[in-house]
Amino acid sequence: MKDGQNLQMCRRRFLASVAALPALTGGVFARTIPGRLPWSPFAGDPPKPVNPLGWYFLNPNEVAAIEAIVDRLIPGDHLSPGGKDSGCAVFIDRQLAGPFGNSSRLYNKGPFAAGLPTQGYQGALNPAGRYRLGLKALYDYAKGAYAGKSFAQLAPNDQDVVLEGLESGKITLKLAGGFNTRSFFDLILQNTMEGFFADPLYGGNRDMAAWKMIGFPGARYDYREYISKYNEPYPLGPVSIYGASDWAEKG
């Protein structure tokens, strides 16, 4: 009986000592925060907003074509501005002028082999090269099929016919390097959607119009109280990585 009592006492001491550890370690490693935050905003080297002025990669003919294309892929209406006014062309230009355009973060050496349809383009051309080749081929096609007019000079209905032809395969552009017409259309469509819904600091989604249209909160740090409110519009406006547009207006 005495041995059993000693065993119970040892167990109690052990449990008590373990329970005391968090308090002790908290005392040892506790840190007093002064009257200022121990970090500064944007200290983690976040992405920098692009300059919305000028063109970094696209030449004037390519700019006209891209602006016309994004405006047909995302036409403006009462819900949101179109692709051009939303900055999709600016977004594409800045992406092509950066790591995405030159594939600097991808392995792009040979050997090159035809991949599965789900793998996308597998050739030697980076996105910048594919855009340059595809836009030149589109320019040549429109000139030949529409009495010397470029794609940007076509009526909106004719532009739709051409884009539908690129998507469906009814139109075949003169491309090379394993790059085909449907891949060119898919590339522009994908980048247009990215520009429309990306954070505005990348040049697209101007004034967060796309986020406002779908009720997306953006980069708000906390909106848990609204997650369970189904089928209700989000009452607060969206916030970019660099804050809400009205913050800058308020100064």
Residues 24-78 pLDDT 10s: 444 445 555 566 666 666 566 667 888 888 999 999 999 999 999 999 999 999 9
Both 115 and 221 in a single domain?
A: no
- Angle between helix 181-197 and helix 156-168 axes, rounded to 10 deg: 120
Per-residue confidence band for 248, with pLDDT thresholds at 50, 70 and 90: very low
76 lies in the same domain as 169 = yes
Residue 193 has pLDDT above 80, yes or no: yes
Q: How far is the C-alpha of 124 from the C-alpha of 118, rounded, in Å?
A: 18
Q: Looking at the structure, do residues 174 and 197 belong to the same domain, yes or no?
A: yes
Query: 246: domain range?
Result: 215-251
pTM for the model:
0.77
Number of domains comprising the chain? 2
Q: Indicate the range of 59-68, 158-167, 189-198, 229-238 predicted with least confidence.
A: 229-238
Among 3, 134, 152, smallest CA distance to 63 is for 152
Residue-wise pLDDT for 106-155, tens only, equals: 777 878 877 787 877 888 899 999 999 999 999 999 999 999 999 999 99
Q: Kindly state whether residue 89 falls inside one of the protein's structural domains.
A: yes
Report pLDDT for 24. 46
Residues 151 and 78 in one domain: yes
The answer to whether position 250 is within a domain reads: yes
Q: How many CB atoms lie within 10 A of CB 232?
A: 9
Cα separation, 220 vs 86, in Å, equals: 21
Same domain, 188 and 251: no
**234 and 182 in a common domain:** no
Q: Quick one: 122 and 201 in the same domain? A: yes
Choice among 8-17, 95-104, 106-115, 227-236 with the minimum mean pLDDT: 8-17
Lowest average pLDDT, out of 32-36, 124-128, 166-170, 203-207, goes to 32-36
Cα-only R_g, the chain:
28
Residues 152, 196 share a domain: yes
Tell me how far apart the alpha carbons of residues 237 and 96 are, in angstroms, rounded to a whole number.
30
DSSP 24-85: HHHHHH-----SS-SS-TTTT-PPPPPP-SS-SS--HHHHHHHHHHHHHHS---SSS--TTT
Same-domain status, 134 and 144: yes
Identify whether residues 242 and 159 lie together within a single domain.
no
More confident call, 182 vs 233: 182
